[in-house]
Chain A
């Protein structure tokens, strides 16, 4: 009998946690999505709803590229209508293979420094799912066409990492996979940053 008392403590604690978890879940489950149009914003850390991840350039066809985070349970079957000035362009979108939460759309390149309105339309039914207005800004870099558009006012640009110190260390090499080759490239390694421990702790 005494032997049974102590497990009761474990059972009690576990049961309380389970009951708490189970009773919270229905309240935590988001309501079913209706046909309402939502406002798109730039993605923050650990996004949970549709948001704009980044702008980019596909220089093979001089296209602008807009990528989105899509929540796992949402549709990835949509396209964009991008409006700037009086023109409206349609951007077909594609879900990134192997990444259920990543969709990117490509289309007409838009001049920098302009404000654009992005409408996200479902491919089935052509209904407007979400929309938002963003400002395209440019950062000039030494290469021919590198554009980092920033979206909302007040956002900071990413931090610039300091260049590593220079030494003449050359790393060794091993072959790991038939489709991944490694060799020792003599003489081409000139920068050795501070070593970072692999398998870092949090």
Chain B
């Protein structure tokens, strides 16, 4: 009841951002579907096209954002609503007109399948909108960084003298693709940045599993198997949707582009005619480049998917004994990796989304993978090999970069649903082929039971709301941040608490990041901050000397598990004056400097 009401409320209050983002998504999807059909001479039905193109809708949008950015910075052309709508409509009209002129004939496909696919997309997106009803800001520490980068880009988009006052959005490269796209939406359509991030995030989450249809449909030839994989990916586990709680927006967006690139690579393998594959290779290379800009590690994911598929091809061509041996080695490798992960405190949470109260779902997929291996051996092998590679990526260090591995725990946790859902879809197709002819009713009942089980599970244990774990900004923080903006000088330097990010197998030199609502001071008030370890003891004289030396004038004391210890600040009333007190957030002024 509340879920529907909350989704409805977001839908009615945020009509404009929802409309804009859905319109851009539809634009990218249509441009890509029509363009792919003409350029690479593909013939798919509406469901296949839409599932593939929905994965790659940012592929045409990203170059547009770069072009608009260049026009804004170099030639002072400001993006605005009218021009954006006209440009989108014109390009859409041109592409559709060119396609009609070419009189291309695509297979019709099942209208029911298309309705079901779009139904799942709309339902999933609608339900996920409820998330935005309970938080005014995107969650966790990453979101503050994303917000700041987008804010800098929006300034570059809209400043009258952008080239002269150009703000480099970020000192070190940080997945700029997501930020460029969100900044374009915010600047051209006058969207509030946090609203744009929240809504875009939920729409990405709602559509993250739709591309699964494409690969499963093409491999099995069954619409139902594709739809089953989509449903499994959408509601089977709390990942990837939970990643919005971590503010992992670029990684979420890259889930789509990664699936698009894998779809194109699959087609390249499938169509061996030179002219077709040559054009697909061009599309694939372009898409991989864009995916790389959206999230750097997506290239590793794509590489792993490709390697898994290639090794599955090799495996399939081997003698039976060899195949069994390789399978045994793979199972052993997975077991060893699992043990290593369970014994590493940084990586241990990795399996939570798949082995917690959803263990039966994962087990169910495991069971389905047995018939999948029988009927679709190469694909099923590739799925398991992908899981093996994903886990392996957690332990392979990147050369010359301290403490970074090919993949990190949160990303692998987010991505594992893809091979699992694909296996589920393949297994569903293989099992339904076991039903003897003339027992169609049984197949229908089985399908409704399968689907019903996933939906019941979703309604019983799936949360569409922000998790308490990651809501670092409370009502008191909102007041404190606004108060800080109003009552402190623009140059006032505020100390905020920080912690170590231990998300890779090694923990020798972890990165440092803000650990409470203090991370929002710079994005929301444009005041500088100074990260100090959350365990800093403010009652020590060397700490005071340090603060004075760096001209830190305020200390932001929050009430999160990794915030500064308030008692150590309050111990020295002569050094620190409490200038704002709220039960959940305090600001102290450093008064003890000579």
Point out the residues of chain A lying under 8 angstroms from B171, CB to CB: 175-178
Point out the residues of chain A lying under 8 angstroms from B499, CB to CB: 171, 196, 198
Asked if A33 is at the interface (CB within 8 A of a chain B CB), the reply is: no
Point out the residues of chain B lying under 8 angstroms from A161, CB to CB: 561
Asked if A185 is at the interface (CB within 8 A of a chain B CB), the reply is: yes
Alpha-carbon distance A145/B170, docked complex (angstroms): 41
In the A-B complex, list the 4 residue pairs whose CB atoms are closest, starting with the nearest: A6-B224, A14-B119, A56-B582, A96-B482
User: Contact at A104–B512, with CB atoms within 8 Å?
Assistant: no
User: Contact at B123–A102, with CB atoms within 8 Å?
Assistant: no
User: Contact at B487–A180, with CB atoms within 8 Å?
Assistant: no
Further contacts, 6 of them, CB under 8 A, given A96-B481, A104-B482, A172-B510: A96-B478, A96-B482, A102-B482, A148-B583, A191-B537, A199-B409
B438 smallest CB distance to A (angstroms): 10
Point out the residues of chain B lying under 8 angstroms from A195, CB to CB: 345, 500, 502
| Complex A-B: 6 CB contacts under 8 Å | A9-B224, A14-B123, A59-B577, A94-B482, A98-B136, A142-B573
Q: Which residues from chain A sit less than 8 Å from chain B, CB to CB?
A: 2-15, 17-18, 21, 24-25, 28-29, 43, 46, 53-60, 65, 67, 69, 72-73, 94, 96-102, 104, 141-148, 158, 161, 163-164, 170-183, 185, 187-193, 195-202
When C-beta atoms are compared, the residue in chain B nearest to A148 turns out to be: B583
B237 smallest CB distance to A (angstroms): 11
Alpha-carbon distance A187/B544, docked complex (angstroms): 12
When C-beta atoms are compared, the residue in chain B nearest to A157 turns out to be: B583
Alpha-carbon distance A147/B586, docked complex (angstroms): 12
User: Contact at B223–A56, with CB atoms within 8 Å?
Assistant: no
Point out the residues of chain B lying under 8 angstroms from A9, CB to CB: 224, 444, 447-448, 451
User: Contact at B581–A147, with CB atoms within 8 Å?
Assistant: yes
Q: Which chain B residues (521-558) contact chain A, with CB distance < 8 Å?
A: 522, 524, 526-537, 540, 542-543, 546, 550
Alpha-carbon distance A19/B147, docked complex (angstroms): 37
Point out the residues of chain A lying under 8 angstroms from B349, CB to CB: 197, 199-201
Alpha-carbon distance A176/B543, docked complex (angstroms): 22
Total chain B interface residues with beta-carbon distance under 8 A: 120
| Complex partner residue of B581 from A10, A21, A56, CB under 8 angstroms | A56
Point out the residues of chain B lying under 8 angstroms from A24, CB to CB: 1, 4
User: Contact at A145–B444, with CB atoms within 8 Å?
Assistant: no
User: Contact at A164–B535, with CB atoms within 8 Å?
Assistant: yes
User: Contact at B583–A56, with CB atoms within 8 Å?
Assistant: yes
Point out the residues of chain B lying under 8 angstroms from A196, CB to CB: 499, 561-562
A20 smallest CB distance to B (angstroms): 9
Alpha-carbon distance A145/B570, docked complex (angstroms): 11
Q: Which of A21, A67, A163 gathers most chain B CB within 10 Å? A: A67
User: Contact at A100–B136, with CB atoms within 8 Å?
Assistant: yes
B353 smallest CB distance to A (angstroms): 7
A171 smallest CB distance to B (angstroms): 5
When C-beta atoms are compared, the residue in chain A nearest to B526 turns out to be: A179
Q: Which chain B residues (288-331) contact chain A, with CB distance < 8 Å?
A: none
When C-beta atoms are compared, the residue in chain B nearest to A145 turns out to be: B578
Point out the residues of chain B lying under 8 angstroms from A96, CB to CB: 478-479, 481-482
Alpha-carbon distance A53/B583, docked complex (angstroms): 10
| Complex partner residue of B13 from A4, A73, A200, CB under 8 angstroms | A73
Given A13-B451, A56-B582: A201 and B577 interface contact (C-beta under 8 Å): no
User: Contact at B119–A18, with CB atoms within 8 Å?
Assistant: yes
Alpha-carbon distance A5/B478, docked complex (angstroms): 53
A97 smallest CB distance to B (angstroms): 5
Alpha-carbon distance A97/B482, docked complex (angstroms): 6
Alpha-carbon distance A114/B567, docked complex (angstroms): 27
Alpha-carbon distance A16/B56, docked complex (angstroms): 30
User: Contact at B452–A13, with CB atoms within 8 Å?
Assistant: yes
Point out the residues of chain A lying under 8 angstroms from B190, CB to CB: none
User: Contact at A181–B578, with CB atoms within 8 Å?
Assistant: no
Alpha-carbon distance A8/B134, docked complex (angstroms): 35
B165 smallest CB distance to A (angstroms): 14
Asked if B116 is at the interface (CB within 8 A of a chain A CB), the reply is: yes
Q: Which of B511, B514, B531, B584 gathers most chain A CB within 10 Å? A: B531
Alpha-carbon distance A68/B509, docked complex (angstroms): 42
Point out the residues of chain B lying under 8 angstroms from A69, CB to CB: 475
User: Contact at B475–A102, with CB atoms within 8 Å?
Assistant: yes
Q: Which chain B residues (467-481) contact chain A, with CB distance < 8 Å?
A: 467, 469-470, 475-476, 478-479, 481
Asked if B63 is at the interface (CB within 8 A of a chain A CB), the reply is: no
User: Contact at B475–A5, with CB atoms within 8 Å?
Assistant: no
Alpha-carbon distance A155/B532, docked complex (angstroms): 35
Alpha-carbon distance A53/B477, docked complex (angstroms): 11
Point out the residues of chain B lying under 8 angstroms from A98, CB to CB: 136-137, 194, 478, 481-482, 524
Binds A, one of B95-103, B107-115, B179-187: B107-115
Point out the residues of chain A lying under 8 angstroms from B452, CB to CB: 13
A72 smallest CB distance to B (angstroms): 6
Alpha-carbon distance A72/B74, docked complex (angstroms): 39
Point out the residues of chain A lying under 8 angstroms from B469, CB to CB: 200-202
Alpha-carbon distance A187/B533, docked complex (angstroms): 12
Point out the residues of chain B lying under 8 angstroms from A185, CB to CB: 532-533, 536, 543, 546
Asked if B163 is at the interface (CB within 8 A of a chain A CB), the reply is: no
User: Contact at B479–A104, with CB atoms within 8 Å?
Assistant: yes
User: Contact at A201–B242, with CB atoms within 8 Å?
Assistant: yes
A18 smallest CB distance to B (angstroms): 7
